Amino acid sequence: MTFPGFPSRAKSTPIPDVFFTDLLPQLTESRDLAVVLCAFHTLAGKKGFPRYITRTNLAAEPALASASENRSLPPQFLRENTKVPNELHPETAPADVIARGLARAVELGILLPLTVEREGERIDLYFLNAPADRRGLEAVRTGAVDLGAVVRQQPAAPQRSNIFTLYESLVGTLSPLIADELAEAERLYPPEWLEAAFREAASQNARSWRYVSRILERWAIEGPDHATTERGAAEDRYFRGKYGKILKQRLQP
């Protein structure tokens, strides 16, 4: 059915301009984007203070009812599993789509999470990362607003992004051929090299795996630009490592 057009004086959902410049390019998965947009829509309809949403609020959004249709599995999962369980293909439960979208929104700093316990049940609250909503989160955290006992979360140990996440953030959708090359690079190069190479490519606005791989190959020969180690020390560390022989063979002209 063709969309008939927007009505006059239609209700609108405010979204900050910075979302389109800084965040939208990083939401490469359409279902994550759908969850984030519905989060903005749901928050816009909230009244009073503090303003927050829950997974239950998002589950009531009609736009997310079909968000799980034709959802593709992560490339790394497909490479490691020759058979996909029936319960994961071709659809997954909308709750899984919402959970993943919220996790991505938290990762990008769009939403701020806070868990409270009320009547023996834990509830995850999500606040928009904006001044007024940050004040609301702090009011709940300090007990100025009673929404339940705040559950103290143990700080998660910082984790380095794997090469697939780095590629999707910088370049875009993975192809099977590129995925194989990324897997090989992840095996050959240390994680700090991978992150630094992607950062350098981004700073040069060279958003391609070919450019990143050339940086890595140069560092393997000359030593990494981002480290203080001299060339000899870098070669000694990595060429004598577990995959040193493989790396040398790959870099031979």
pLDDT single digits (tens) 91-140 = 445 888 999 999 999 999 999 999 999 988 999 999 999 999 999 999 99
d(CA 241, CA 232): 14
What distances in angstroms separate CA 169 from CA 16, 80, 152, 165, 242, one per listed residue?
A: 21, 22, 31, 6, 29
As a whole number, the mean pLDDT across the chain is 79
Roughly what angle, to the nearest 10 degrees, separates helices 231-239 and 209-222? 110
d(CA 251, CA 217): 7
Domain residue spans in the chain? Answer: 17-150, 163-251
CB neighbours of 105 closer than 8 A, spacing ≥ 6?
A: 32, 35, 36, 39, 111, 126
Q: 17-150 with 163-251: one CATH topology?
A: yes
Give which of 143, 144, 95, 133 is closest to 111, Cα–Cα: 133
| pLDDT at position 80 | 46
Q: Count Cβ atoms below 10 Å from residue 33 Cβ, excluding itself.
A: 17
For 189, list phi and psi in degrees, rounded to 5: -110, 150
What distances in angstroms separate CA 218 from CA 118, 205, 228, one per listed residue?
A: 56, 18, 16
More confident residue, 233 or 144: 144
- If you average pLDDT over residues 43-52, what whole number do you get? 94
| pLDDT at position 9 | 87
Class (C level, CATH) for 163-251 = mainly alpha
> 40: which 2 tokens?
């903005």
| pLDDT at position 96 | 87
d(CA 228, CA 24): 35
The model's pLDDT over 135-177, given as tens digits with 9 standing for 90+, comes to 999 999 999 999 999 998 766 555 555 888 888 877 878 788 8
| pLDDT at position 154 | 63
d(CA 199, CA 182): 16
d(CA 64, CA 100): 13
- Into which CATH architecture does domain 17-150 fall? Orthogonal Bundle (1.10)
